[in-house]
Amino acid sequence: ISSKPTRQIKQEMIQLVQNRNADKQGEKAKFYQSTLQPMIEELKRRNKSDRPKSDEYHLVQGTWTPIWSNIPFQDSLPGRIREESYQIFKNNGYYANIARYAFGRKIKIPLLGGLLAASFLALDIMIVQKYGVDDNGKWDIQ
């Protein structure tokens, strides 16, 4: 890994996580530890900064669409629409994990001689958490 350019490591990470969101939590944990963690550690080593994390606080603010997640709550219910899952970081120290579920979206219902997807059975789940930088200069998520 150490001989690869940074851009290449990032692109490889993106390719490696493609189509892996449906993996079970245990598989995701093993994949993270064996494959992603060494790449992340190398990127952290290359981008080491003496700046306090509080200086980077503004960089995380905004809406993020995860390309891979090992957040267990998102997959605890069946039917999550992955392309409609987000993280929203506000400048008030709070962020939300939002996931949309359509439990019956794969079920077809005959109606008026055609088929109607039962996608109207949907639920949005949002978990709000507090984030910031602790007294030791490390990210603190509660």
The domain locations on the chain are: 1-48, 51-142
Residue 75 Ramachandran class (φ > 0 left, ψ -120 to 50 alpha, else beta)? alpha
User: Measured between alpha carbons, how far is 13 from 35 in angstroms, rounded to an integer?
Assistant: 9
Per-residue pLDDT of the chain (142 residues; tens, 9 = 90+): 889 999 999 999 999 999 888 888 899 999 999 999 999 999 989 988 777 777 788 888 999 988 888 777 667 777 788 888 899 999 999 999 998 888 665 555 555 444 555 545 778 889 999 998 888 878 888 8
Q: Structure pTM? A: 0.70
Contact between 88 and 98 under an 8 Å Cβ cutoff? The reply is yes
